[in-house]
């Protein structure tokens, strides 16, 4: 129901009674701390959630055998909070410890093993290691198909996450198919305003956006936001994500004032809900910068891009795709400002990272080659520009529909250059 303050009050009252009635390391006390932590996590108060989960684990280590399933649950929950806080190496370590315990304690196709594989995959996703993430998600789905009813919500979650991996890898038709299968199951299994339905609509909107179908994307994002406003607290990070994605759709459609308003609302919520160097803050600054760029306010754009990069360097591994995005966008600003050597350096750094982090025909490669070509064009090095444009077009023909705006753009750039060169 999303009534987190009432839930927190009840759990805290239960804890008070248990502290009086039970020995100090009784397992029921651990359950109370776990439940309190769960509420804080849903409210986006991650530091309080982590503290309560760790207190629960301390009690369980004393009260339970070393491979008891409840210990695995605690490690899993601690990992979840670390992931929300952007501390991915700590999250991965805790998720793997949880999986080790569950392999000993549970039957081989127990749903909790699937949960462990799913959660490990989510961390790999955030670290930019998509092939490892997809492998873990497929293992999770195999288990769930054996263990659960065909319309169980966990199957929907599994399809949703697989869709996310395909989306990150640039395989948009596979992503859309998986997200739509997830939504079908959620509609059967859940209440009409459940947050998971909002997540499905949000993710479908994201794929439509990547495919260049921005009106469909906006419609899905707005449906997601409607559900989240009903289901979640007013400063929950998921609301910020919805405003961010709506801003992105408006930006693609050229409605920049609406885009800027949505992005700024997203940033306001993230500043309240998240640690100061969380990757989602970097994304907000990046998106605000893109709108300023489109509005021709290049100095404001460059400032926001650089703030985004500062946060990303702290929060992410050195070859994460989001760092490539930051360098790419900074390169674009320098190009617009006529500082071509700085622009070329930034675009080449972006391409270097993408070559490490992404599959060889990912659409982001096309973006890098297109932008490098634009700089060479502005520098008067037309043969180098043409070579990079053609490389961009080659990748786009393999990765996006023939009507995609980016493909049309690159074709136009090549035609324009040939008319001049």
Angle formed at CA 326 by CA 320 and CA 329, multiple of 5 degrees: 145
What tokens does 337 get? Answer: 């400002």
- CA dihedral of 35, 40, 46, 49, whole degrees rounded to 10: -30
Residues 6+ apart with CB under 8 A from 10: none
pLDDT digits (tens, 9 = 90+) for 185-207: 999 999 999 999 999 999 999 99
269-291 burial, b for 16+ CB within 10 Å, e for fewer?
Answer: bbeebbeebbbbbbbbbbbbbbb
The overall average pLDDT reported for the chain is 93
Q: Which class for 64: exposed (0-12), middle (13-18), buried (19 or more C-beta within 10 A)?
A: middle
Q: Where are the domains of the chain?
A: 232-315, 317-420
The stretch 378-404 carries a mean pLDDT of: 92
Judging by beta carbons within 10 Å of its beta carbon (0-12, 13-18, 19+), is residue 98 exposed, middle or buried? buried
Q: What CA–CA distance (Å, rounded) separates 417 from 201? A: 40
* Mean pLDDT in residue range 220-234: 96
Using the structure block, give the residue that is written with the tokens 């090095």: 381
Question: In 274-320, which residue ranges form alpha helices assigned H by DSSP?
Answer: 279-294, 298-315
pLDDT for position 2: 56
Model confidence at 404, pLDDT cuts 50, 70, 90, reads confident
**pLDDT tens for each residue of 332-375:** 999 999 999 999 999 999 999 999 988 888 889 999 999 999 99
Nearest to 382 by CA among 414, 345, 346, 350: 414
The percent of residues in the chain predicted with pLDDT above 70, rounded, is 100
Distance CA 118, CA 112 (A): 10
* 125 has pLDDT over 70: yes
User: Is the separation of the CB atoms in 13 and 21 below 8 Å?
Assistant: no
Residue 68 DSSP class? -
N-term to C-term CA, the chain = 64
**Average pLDDT estimate for 6-17:** 92
Q: What is the mean pLDDT of residues 99-117?
A: 94
CA distance 257 to 283: 18
Q: Is the pLDDT of residue 153 over 80?
A: yes
pLDDT value, residue 321: 86
Residue 23: pLDDT band with limits 50, 70, 90: very high
Q: Are the C-beta atoms of 250 and 259 separated by less than 8 Å?
A: yes
pLDDT grade for 406, boundaries at 50, 70 and 90:
confident
Given the candidates 1.25.40.10, 3.65.10.10, 2.40.10.480, 3.20.20.60, the CATH classification of the domain at 317-420 is 1.25.40.10
Q: Is the pLDDT of residue 36 over 60?
A: yes
Query: Which region among 86-90, 93-97, 263-267 has the lowest average model confidence (pLDDT)?
Result: 86-90
Checking if the pLDDT of 1 tops 70, the result is: no
Per-residue pLDDT of 284-341, as tens digits, reads 998 999 899 899 999 999 999 999 999 999 988 898 888 998 999 999 999 999 999 9
Instruction: Give the residue-averaged pLDDT of 216-225.
Output: 98
Q: Is the pLDDT of residue 273 over 60?
A: yes
Cβ proximity of 120 and 100 under 8 Å? no
Residues 213, 216, 222, 224: is their CA dihedral positive or negative?
negative
Query: 410 pLDDT exceeds 60?
Result: yes
Please tell me the predicted confidence (pLDDT) of residue 403: 84
Q: Give yes or no for residue 211 having a pLDDT over 90.
A: yes
| 384-409 residues labelled b (16+ CB within 10 A) or e (exposed) | ebbebbebbbebbeebbeeebebbee
Q: Looking at the predicted structure, is the pLDDT value of residue 180 above 90?
A: yes
Predicted local distance difference test score (pLDDT) of residue 402: 85
pLDDT for position 148: 92
Instruction: List all residues 6 or more positions away from 1 whose beta carbon is below 8 Å from its beta carbon.
Output: none
User: Looking at the domain 232-315, which fold is it?
Assistant: 1.25.40
pLDDT at residue 259 above 70? yes
DSSP characters for 106-146? S-TT-HHHHHHHHHHHHHHHHTT-HHHHHHHHHHHHHHHHH
Distance separating alpha carbons of residues 249 and 171, to the nearest angstrom: 20
Comparing CA positions, the residue from 326, 411, 421 lying closest to residue 376 is: 421
Residue 390 clears pLDDT 90, i.e. is over it: yes
The reply to whether 317-420 shares the fold of 232-315 is: yes
């Amino acid at each position: 129901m999303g009534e987190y303050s009432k839930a927190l009050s009840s759990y805290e009252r239960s804890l008070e009674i248990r502290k009086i009635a039970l020995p100090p390391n009784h397992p029921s006390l651990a359950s109370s701390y776990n439940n309190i932590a769960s509420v804080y996590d849903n409210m986006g108060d991650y530091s309080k959630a982590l503290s309560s989960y760790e207190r629960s684990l301390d009690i369980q280590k004393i009260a339970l055998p070393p491979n008891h399933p409840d210990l695995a649950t605690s490690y899993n929950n601690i990992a979840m909070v670390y992931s929300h806080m952007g501390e991915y190496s700590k999250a991965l370590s805790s998720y793997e410890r949880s999986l080790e315990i569950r392999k000993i304690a549970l039957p081989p196709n127990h749903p909790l093993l699937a949960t462990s594989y799913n959660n490990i995959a989510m961390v790999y996703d955030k670290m930019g290691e998509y092939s490892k993430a997809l492998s873990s998600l497929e293992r999770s789905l195999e288990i769930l198909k054996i263990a659960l009813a065909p319309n169980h919500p966990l199957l929907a979650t599994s399809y949703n996450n697989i869709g996310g991996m395909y989306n990150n890898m640039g395989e948009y038709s596979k992503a859309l198919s998986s997200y739509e299968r997830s939504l079908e199951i959620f509609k059967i299994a859940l209440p009409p305003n459940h947050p998971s339905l909002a997540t499905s609509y949000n993710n479908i909107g994201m794929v439509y956006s990547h495919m260049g179908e921005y009106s469909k994307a906006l419609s899905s994002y707005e449906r997601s936001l409607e559900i989240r406003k009903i289901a979640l607290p007013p400063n929950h990070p998921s609301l910020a994500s919805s405003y961010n994605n709506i801003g992105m759709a408006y930006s693609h459609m050229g409605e920049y004032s609406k885009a800027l308003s949505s992005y700024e609302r997203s940033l306001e919520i993230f500043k309240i809900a998240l640690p100061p160097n969380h990757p989602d803050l970097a994304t907000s600054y990046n998106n605000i910068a893109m709108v300023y760029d489109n509005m021709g306010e290049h100095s404001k754009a460059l400032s926001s891009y650089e703030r985004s990069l500062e946060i990303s360097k702290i929060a992410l591994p050195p070859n994460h795709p989001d760092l490539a995005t930051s360098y790419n966008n900074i390169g674009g600003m320098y190009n617009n400002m006529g500082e071509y050597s700085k622009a070329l350096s930034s675009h080449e750094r972006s391409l270097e990272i993408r070559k490490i982090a992404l599959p060889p025909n990912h659409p982001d490669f096309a973006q890098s080659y297109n932008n490098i070509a634009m700089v060479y064009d502005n520098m008067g090095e037309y043969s180098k520009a043409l070579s990079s444009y053609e490389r961009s077009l080659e990748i786009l023909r393999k990765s996006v529909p023939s009507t995609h705006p980016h493909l049309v753009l690159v074709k136009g750039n090549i035609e324009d250059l040939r008319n001049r060169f």
